[in-house]
Chain A
Amino acid sequence: MAFIKKISNMPLYLLAIILLIFTGLPYFLMVSSSFKSQLEFMTSPWSLPKDFTLESYSVVLSSNFLRYFGNSLIVSAVSVVIVIVISAMASYPLARIKFKLNRPIFILFLIGMMIPIHTTLIPIYLLTINIGLYDTIWGLIGPYVAFAIPVSVIIFTQFLQDIPAELEESAKIDGCGQFRLFWKILFPLLKPAVATVAIYNFIHIWNEFIFALVLTNSKENATLPLGLREFYGEFSVNVPGIMAALTLGSLPLLLVYFVAQEKIVKGIAAGSVKG
């Protein structure tokens, strides 16, 4: 019986493995060629590396890579913190207080999810030049925060609606002001939503490309995606070097993913399903 059951599962395994190769192969090729010497890559580009060498990694790490990495880290972290604070605040009246403009404002935020960022690119480019933030990593934070607001407000609003109202009322009776009430009582309860919002936006901002392309110019202020492209131009003959850079650039999100798998998956679902 066990044998028969195994046979009936065979097509499933076959399909699962085909999809595994489909999704995993590019990753595998990237990592494996990053351990090859240039010579070995030239002679046998896609076979397994025979003698592992970390040479490409030391070349990449001694270049501008860490600079790009650091820039991305700063921009992503600062943007995510600001998004969390201002989106959580905005969600409070939207989820808890009845007022005339409640629904229109919520819809106004919702629309943001549908807007192609390219529609805002030229005005933001000109604005960034005018306020003197062109070609600085700080100029990226405004647009990153703005485009992260819609999804974050939706997630926070849903979470806030699930918190019982009695909690707030008893705090109000004790004479707690509404700002203090929000930060001291409600915000700590929003921890799961904060994690979701943080991870969801971190993935997007870490990989963002077009704003970084348009709003910065010099190498010192390049983020990681721009830096990778830079490598591609510079190293075009050194394929293992490029592959090492791509591998290192993908590492942070993979690490975050393996640490917080469930949270990421939940976050993406929560961030999209109501869109």
Chain B
Amino acid sequence: MKTTIRQLPTASVPVSVVSKKKMTSKIKQGLVIGGFLAPALLVYGIFVLYSIVMTFYYSLFDWSGIDNSFEFIGLQNYIELLHDELFWASLKNNLLLVFSSLLTQLPLGLIMALLLFSPIKGMRFFRSVYFMPFLMSTVAIGILFTFMYDGNFGIVNRILGLLGLESLQRAWLGNEDTAIWAVIATICWQYAPFYMVLFRAAIVGIPEELYEAAMIDGANSRQRFFKITLPLLMPTIVTSSILSIIGSLKYFDLIYVMTGGGPNNSTELMATYMYEETFTNFNMGYGSSISFSMFLIALVITVIIVFSEQKRKGGS
């Protein structure tokens, strides 16, 4: 009995049932897709997407964050920001960080990666030590380097003394002119190994035959580097540059630990300025406008890089 009842519909009205089945399978498919994506979309949606929208919303208010003052002022915060010298100074420092990162971390990372492919012995050892800075927490690095830059007993002054360069000795982080450079050098120490890893992975991927063929054609090592290695590393250089630029625009930890933006705001970055305005001075509305500006700047730069890269790819 049971089996006949079950079989009956499919046998007698196949067309409508099939389309119905198709429908239900489509719904089923949708449910599967939704089910798999839901947890990630939920967490990402709340903490990233919703938060960005809310940051913009808060930036439209004059709001301390601690009392009930919550006054809508439109784009007033942004107008104020445009006339805020401290914001421009911090943006300038961020841009300084961008350029110095590109000019130090990437080349240094590339040199380290290339060295690891040279015939030097103990490559594993060199590689391990080169990579270690990347594994230390930024806070630990900040504290360690603060001691190294110390004016009285710091190793930097000690080394300068040994080299007979006493005239250069100073309290590196206490000096308005040198503090930013001392921090930049530290950031370079921290991140060069990261780019070494990226470049090393890319170099491993270059087919050996290319070099063999070039050697047969009589190309010397310099030609092999500029005609084979460098062009094939281009995608990695572009990616590294994007990462370096974005990283430099949102840099915070090391400055916060080492100088707190001082002396006399000489090392202030957008992120440290935003933190101070929001959580020290309790200008949550104004702090939000700084945060949202950081987002816009990062977005614009990313879009420019991605588009110019696609143009470059399309052109060649």
Contacts and interface: CB of A to CB of B under 8 A. Distances in A.
Interface of A: 9, 12-13, 15-16, 19-20, 22-27, 29-30, 45-46, 85-87, 89-90, 92-94, 97, 99, 105, 108-109, 112-124, 126-127, 142-143, 145-147, 149-150, 153, 178-179, 182, 203, 206-207, 209-210, 213-214, 224-226, 228-229, 232, 239, 242-243, 246, 249-250, 253-254, 257-258, 261, 265-266, 268-269, 272-275
B69 to A, nearest CB: 15
Contact of A122 (B30, B43, B112, B291): B291
Interface stretch (B80-88, B95-103, B172-180, B241-249): B241-249
B135 A115 contact: no
Given A117-B250, A120-B52, A250 B197 contact: no
B137 to A, nearest CB: 4
A42 to B, nearest CB: 8
A44 to B, nearest CB: 10
A114 B302 contact: yes
Interface of B: 29-30, 32-33, 35-37, 39-41, 43-44, 46-52, 54-55, 58, 65, 108, 111-112, 115, 118-120, 126, 128-133, 135-141, 143-145, 147-148, 153, 155, 158, 189, 192-194, 197-198, 200-202, 235-236, 239-240, 242-243, 246, 249-250, 252-253, 256-257, 270-271, 274-275, 278-279, 284, 287-288, 291-292, 294-295, 298-299, 302
Nearest to A41: B153
Contact of A92 (B36, B46, B249): B36
B34 to A, nearest CB: 9
Contacts of A258: 128
Contacts of B108: 19
B287 A122 contact: yes
Nearest to A182: B36
A25 B133 CA distance: 10
A15 B115 contact: yes
A121 B278 CA distance: 10
A24 B132 contact: yes
Pairs A-B, 8 closest by C-beta atoms: A146-B47, A269-B201, A120-B51, A116-B250, A90-B40, A123-B54, A207-B137, A123-B51
A225 B311 CA distance: 42
Contacts of A126: 54, 65
30 contacts: A9-B119, A9-B120, A12-B118, A12-B119, A20-B130, A22-B189, A23-B133, A23-B189, A23-B192, A23-B193, A86-B43, A87-B40, A89-B37, A99-B33, A115-B298, A116-B249, A116-B295, A118-B294, A145-B43, A146-B46, A149-B40, A209-B256, A225-B138, A225-B140, A228-B143, A232-B257, A250-B135, A253-B136, A269-B201, A273-B201
Contact of A146 (B44, B126, B250, B270): B44
B198 A269 contact: yes
Given A105-B41, A114-B302, A145-B43, A27 B137 contact: no
A32 to B, nearest CB: 11
B298 A114 contact: yes
Given A179-B35, A209-B138, A118 B252 contact: yes
With most chain A CB atoms within 10 A of its CB, the pick from B41, B44, B115, B295 is B44
B155 A24 contact: no
Contact of A26 (B119, B144, B201, B291): B144
B159 to A, nearest CB: 9
Contacts of A261: 128
